[in-house]
Structure formats: structure tokens, C-alpha cells
Amino acid sequence: MITLLLGATVGALAGIHIATWGMYKDAPHEGFTWLRYSRGIVLGTVIGAAAAVVIGIDDDRIGIDLTRAPALVVFFGVVYILERAVEEFYKTFLREEDQSKYTIPMQFHVLGRVVESRTARWAAGAGVLAAAFLLFFGARILARSPYASSFLVIAAVGTAASWFSAFGGAWKDAPIEGFETLKFFRSPGIALCWVLILMQFTDDLILLGLASAGYTVATIETYKTFFFPSKPRGKFANKPVLFPDMLRRRQMFVPAFVGVWALVVTGVVVAFVKA
């Protein structure tokens, strides 16, 4: 029960973090509703609880001990990327929504042309899932190989999820805004930096790769959202601000966002002491 509660709590914190930066950039263009804001929090809580059941220690079952700071730090990153993966998969392949409000379509598209066929989108989604599972099993084989302790294998497995994200982002964005070399390599590069930190807290290379990808998304979105608050996201580039009142109201949510980062940084410091 303690493991379940800790997992749900960490998931809720990850959800608050994600929901806040998402709202901060999007609300001036599409408005704010508590239902939309709470979606990521609820999803993060559910994923956190489920992940805790799967990988957390419960009695004699092997897993990571979520009562320890190093494990909690890793777990936050894992839940973060799982929430992002679930939500982005839903928006890309399953959700039916008018795409005219976006500069870059959120639904699956080919060279900027939205795939209207639900069957075709579902088939493409199945293909992406298959590719993700192949990547997972390949990483698992490397993680269990005699070379698992070498830095090259650690770096390869630790950044695999971020490479997957980089290719997906390029497929979605490049046909509309052009291919940017620095942007493409940004995620794997930042992920490698997080690998160097998180490898101090876990020997499980799969969890290391997922966690580093989660922290990479959190880092990049923090930078894009709060260091350039007046620059709209690519999906709303050249679109008007339809809800200017949200430019002021969104500031009320910043303390929650900063609070989550403060907890994460504190956790990392404590984890280094305990590791």
C-alpha cells in the first residue's frame, strides 16, 4: 500500500508539472478549462500507481524501493515519460479533433497532410507501437549482455527513448517548420547528461533510459516555456492569441510548477547523499 501511494503521489507531481507547462503555453490560444488541466494530473496519478505496482518492491517481489530517495528520483522520470507517451499517442493516432486551429497538426500526418482515415491512423499507431516494443527488447538484450557495464552500452540504452522521441518530433515538425539539426540532436544530448546523473541511482538500464527521457522532456519544456514565454509553440506559430486574459491568469500556476522542480532537485541532492 505504501508503494502504491508513493507511486500515485509521484505520478500526480509529474502530472502537475506537465499540465502546468502545457497550459502556460497553450491557454492563450485555446483557453483554459479545469478538465483539460486536470487530465494530465489524473493520467500521471494512474500511471504512477500502475508503474509502482509493476516495478516497486512489494513484500518479497524484486523491484525498486520507492521508500528510498534514489529510487523516487528515477521513478519520477519514468512516470513522466510514460505519461507523455500515452497522451501523445492518444492525440496523434486516436483523438478526433479539428486540426485547423493548429499550424502543425497534432494528428498523424504525412508531410503536413493530416491522415483523415481512422483505420490508416490506427494502423500507423500500431506500427509505432511495434517499433517501440522492438526498441525496448533490443535495449533489454543490450542491458543483459556481458557488455552492459560499458559506458557505450549505458549511453546507448540510456538515450534510446530520447532518440525515438527525436525521430518522432522530426516527422511531425520538420515538414512544416523545416529540419533543424540542433533541435534534432537536442533531446539525445540532454538525455545523455541526465544519464550521467541518474546512473548513480540505478543499475537498471531500462529504467535509466526511461527516466532520462522523462527528465529530458521536463528540461526542454521548462526552457521553451518559461525562458521564452512570449514565443508561441510551433503548433500555434502565427496563430492569434484568442484568450489574452490567460497571459495574466496563467501566472497563478507557476508556484506549483516551481514547487515540483524544487522537490525534484531536493530529491536529487538527497539521493546523492544516500546513494
- Top pLDDT among 232 and 20 is at 20
How far is Cα 158 from Cα 183, in angstroms, rounded to an integer? Answer: 19
> Once rounded to an integer, what is the mean pLDDT over residues 179-202?
92
* Average of per-residue pLDDT values in the chain: 90
CA distance 41 to 83: 9
Long-range contacts of 87-93, Cβ-Cβ distance < 8 Å, separation of 24 or more? 87/39, 87/40, 87/43, 89/125, 89/128, 89/129, 92/121, 92/125, 92/172, 93/121, 93/122, 93/124, 93/125, 93/128
Q: What is the pLDDT of residue 61?
A: 46
Q: Is the confidence at residue 256, as pLDDT, over 90? A: yes
- Closest-CA residue to 55 (of 72, 69, 80, 41): 72
Q: Tell how far CA 224 is from the center of its chain.
A: 14
Name 56's bridge partners. 64
| Contacts of 47 by beta carbon, 8 Å cutoff, 6+ apart | 11, 79, 82, 83, 86
Range scoring the smallest mean pLDDT among 11-20, 30-39, 165-174, 183-192: 165-174
Report domain extents, the chain. Answer: 2-274
Question: How far is it, in rounded angstroms, from Cα 241 to Cα 55?
Answer: 43
Q: What is the pLDDT averaged over residues 65-75?
A: 91
Q: Determine the pLDDT at residue 148.
A: 87
Would you place residue 63 in the very low, low, confident or very high pLDDT band (cuts 50, 70, 90)? low
Instruction: Note the pLDDT of residue 238.
Output: 80
Residue 253 clears pLDDT 90, i.e. is over it: yes
Residue 183 and residue 206: Cα distance in Å, rounded?
Answer: 24
pLDDT value at 119 more than 90:
yes
Q: What is the mean pLDDT of residues 199-208?
A: 93
Per-residue confidence (pLDDT) for residue 57, from 0 to 100: 61
Q: Is the pLDDT of residue 102 over 50?
A: yes
Mean predicted confidence (pLDDT) in 15-39: 94
Report which DSSP code applies to 233. Answer: P
User: What pLDDT, in 10s, does the model give residues 29-45?
Assistant: 999 999 999 999 999 99
**236 phi/psi in degrees, rounded to 5:** -115, 15
Predicted local confidence at residue 169, as pLDDT: 86
What is the C-alpha end-to-end distance of the chain, expressed in Å? 25
